A and B are shown apart, each in its own frame.
Chain A
Amino acid sequence: GQSYPGKPKIIRCRSLEKETFSCWWRPGSNGGLPTNYTLFYSKDSEEKICECPDYQTSGPNSCYFDKNHTDSWTSYNITVMATNEIGSNSSDPQYVDVSSIVKPDAPVNLSLERKASANTMYLWAKWSPPPLPDISSNSHVYHYELRLKHEEKEEWETISAGVQTQYKVSRLQAGMKYIIQVRCMLDVGEWSEWSSEKYIQIPNGGSPPEKPTIIKCRSPEKETFTCWWKPGSDGGHPTNYTLLYSKEGEEQVYECPDYRTAGPNSCYFDKKHTSFWTIYNITVRATNEMGSNVSDPHYVDVTYIVQPDPPVNVTLELKKPINRKPYLVLTWSPPPLADVRSGWLTLEYELRLKPEEGEEWETIFVGQQTQYKMFSLNPGKKYIVQIHCKPDHHGSWSEWTSEKYIQIPTDFRVKDMVVWIVVGVLSSLICLIMSWTMVLKGYRMIAFILPPVPGPKIKGIDTHLLETGKSEELLSALGCHGFPPTSDCEELLIEYLEVEDSEDQQLVPSHDNGHPSKNAKMIPKETDSDSGRGSCDSPSLLSEKCRECRTLPPILQTPDVRDVQESKGGKRSWETQCIASEEKIILLNSESTKSSTWPAAQLPTNQPPMFAYHSMIDAQKITLSATNVNIAPVLVGNEEKRQSQYPITETVHSDMEKQREMENLHSKTDQTAVQVKQNRSNDNSPFLHPKLMDYVEVHKVRQDEPAVLLKHKESSGKTDKYTVPGTSKEYTKVSTVVDHNILVLMPDSCIQHTSVSQEPAIETSPNLQQGQAEKNMSYCLTAPSECRRETSGSEYMDPSSFIPSFK
């Protein structure tokens, strides 16, 4: 059935911005027939009833009142009438007050941004006001309100945001997810609806990244370059890095053209982007959720950062030139990227070498050439060699090439080996032969090489006789009257005679008679000034020298040192030589002034030749006190002599100069001139003289014979040094003068000290030592000299004392 339409109902009226409003109604039933709806309104202040100006804008069943029809100060009475063919119906009237129906739309475009400042997180919320259909309408001032809540929680926190379209939300908890909405309101009316929800996750702590640092920038071939940076800590979040640079003189900032070619955390500038002789200002920025940070700027001029690659193609070649030692040639090529051919980049090379086990490298600078010759390598050893290069101007050295091993073949030539073998065989053969000869011919060989010390020249003791035990014969041979010594011998023994002989006397007695000993090198040739070589015992003379005469073999030959002395022409001091072997001519002070040798003595400074003082030691020295040995030992001291005074000595000197010889003065029992040296020519050496004097012990004095002086060795039986102070007696005193040419000396026991106790070679020759009291000793004593000194001059009737200057 058709009927008139049902009553429409006005559902709502709303104004978005107080300048327009719309009403919507809901139609009732339409009664089965098409229905027309009209809206009538009247303002409060007016009677007039108007119809809706616009049924379209707000959609179906709506009426839109635009600005012209809207009066926000009055209220409207609005009814809607539904009309169909049959009839019409009217809705209830609706009283609308525009101000009260204002409700804006919700704000739009809500955006949230996390920001960090000083380790606290806050949120920037931004939105836009609700859009209005009429763009030309005035900008309305909305009030906004935010609300947020934790995702899981129920309660909203509402924040009034004022009239700004952004708001900073702080006090957010880290690690939470938040929901945020915003709504707005005009000065009248209602709040809009809440905007759609916006979620935001607050990161779980962390911080913006640390400042990265630019490590280095390098160019391998002076055409491109690369920069590397080192990231700082990333603040707990994934961080992004960007490199920015600008060139000298330009403002513009560029970003790195290539982050990948050179690997992570690097930037590669290719040829297009590389300019030389300009300074680049490079920085790196690190960004993460919490923020960002920028490195310090790095300034670089590509010209100065060239570091080439290592050289390549390192090869070795062994060259063996003829007639020369083989050597090695090491060659290499420049790195492939470096453009050496155009001259743009010039490289210099350096190589280093060490033996495989060695510690230290030897570095050799090679320059611009690409080869090197090595001459000085040891064959058989293994070496390691490496090369690196650098540009010839500013730049840095490349890495070293990988190690290259060199092994020199041991060039063991067969020839060398053979030579060595032959040499070895020969020498061993020679050794064999020699040892064999030695064994077989032993003694002879030895004797040949090392001639034995000659036996005693003193004819005195005949060994055979000794062996046979016929003492009497023996002794008689010696000229002793009886053995053991008789008392008178004793007397004589202890007397030292110092005799100065006349010229005629032969100083060297021994050789006249023919020496039994082999060393008849007595002075046959010439008068030996040194004929008076007695034993070395004479303490005085042999002060220094005696020292040297330590180890004298039993048979001693005293070389004729005098010769030497004289040849020197200088003052020679005493040369006391207690020399065992011929060879051993000890020129003790050959050069030096004698004064040095004499501890206390001053050497005479005169030039007159001096006699060498020999401490003769006669190995055979028989200290047979009892025997009357017709030995004429002559002791000659080195002293300066006045030639005039000692004619004999002079002659002797001259002879001496010719040669030196060793002689045993004791050889002959002949008349012996006892020579006393003591040249006291000099004034200067007063005290020397006494020392220099040799004291010979007189065994026996016979009237018809010249005195025989023998060295007496106090120490009987001991072949030691004559060091026993107490026991040694020095015969320094003259007791009487006999026959005008013989001085009889007496012992002086003043020897307190032996200044120089030489180590006498108190070896007794095994042959001779036959229960003799004395052994052959040779020793030089200096003590006596000292002692002598002590004796007052008056007591001592020393010829030297006769000389006034001798004091």
Chain B
Amino acid sequence: CHTSGMLTPNGKEYAQKIPREELTHLILKLLQAWKEPLSHFNQHHQELPDDSLSKAKQISNMVHELKTGVEKVTEKMQSMGIISNSLNGMASSEAAGLSIGNEADMMSDSDFIHCFRRDSNKVQSYLKILKCRIMPENSC
């Protein structure tokens, strides 16, 4: 996977131990890393049946929206002081994301889907942990 190079906690304890800022940063990085490959995938796979295509587009949109949402939440958290402001190096990570995107071109389709599934699961798990760390009241 093109995101294999990223150092991400691979267990519950690690995810709970790393600082919240870092976790948030990781989430955003992951989401960013998939933006380009997803759109690339959609462009190059017009031969799929319609419902698959629309599903792929839907997923791209969802990833984009999720990223936007997380960014907003992050801003809010930063403004509320829940997490520190040390995340403002996002620009650099974006640049890194671009280079990662190139590797994604070379993956086969099944690998692509496998990697996406894994990374989306990662993002989901991290978000849930983050949520329960920051706001433990609701259903945690």
A interface residue numbers (CB < 8 A to B): 222-223, 249, 271, 274-278, 301, 303, 339-344, 346, 368, 393-394
Contact = CB atoms under 8 A, between A and B. Distances in A.
B56 interface: no
Interface stretch (B33-41, B86-94, B122-130): B122-130
B132 A343 contact: yes
A275 B16 contact: no
Given A393-B124, A394-B121, A343 B13 contact: no
A342 B9 CA distance: 15
A275 B4 contact: no
Contacts of A339: 12
A483 B65 CA distance: 112
A344 B129 contact: yes
Given A222-B12, A275-B11, A340 B4 contact: no
Given A222-B12, A276-B10, A277-B8, A344 B140 contact: no
A110 to B, nearest CB: 53
Interface of A is mostly: loop
A341 B132 contact: yes
Nearest to A368: B139
Chain A CB within 10 Å, residue with most, of B13, B16, B121, B130: B121
B4 A249 contact: yes
Interface of B: 4, 8, 10-13, 15-16, 118, 121-122, 124-125, 128-133, 136, 139-140
Ranked 10 nearest A-B pairs via Cβ: A343-B132, A343-B128, A344-B12, A275-B10, A276-B10, A343-B129, A342-B132, A341-B140, A277-B118, A277-B10
Contacts, number: 48
26 contacts: A223-B11, A223-B12, A249-B4, A271-B13, A274-B11, A275-B11, A276-B11, A277-B118, A277-B121, A277-B122, A303-B121, A339-B12, A341-B132, A342-B12, A342-B16, A342-B133, A343-B128, A343-B131, A343-B132, A343-B133, A344-B125, A344-B129, A346-B128, A368-B139, A393-B121, A394-B121
Contacts of B118: 277, 301, 303
A342 B140 contact: yes
B130 to A, nearest CB: 8
A313 B130 CA distance: 28
A296 to B, nearest CB: 20
Contacts of A340: 140
Contacts of B12: 222-223, 339, 342, 344
B71 to A, nearest CB: 20
Given A223-B12, A303-B121, 12 more contacts: A223-B11, A274-B11, A276-B10, A339-B12, A341-B136, A342-B133, A343-B129, A343-B130, A343-B131, A344-B12, A344-B15, A394-B121
A249 B136 CA distance: 36
Nearest to B128: A343
A249 B11 CA distance: 17
A393 B117 CA distance: 11
Nearest to B1: A277
A390 to B, nearest CB: 15
Contacts of B131: 343
B121 A344 contact: no
B66 to A, nearest CB: 15
Contacts of A342: 12, 16, 129, 132-133, 140
A203 B127 CA distance: 61
B51 to A, nearest CB: 22
Contacts of B132: 341-343
B16 to A, nearest CB: 6
A512 B44 CA distance: 104
Nearest to A278: B10
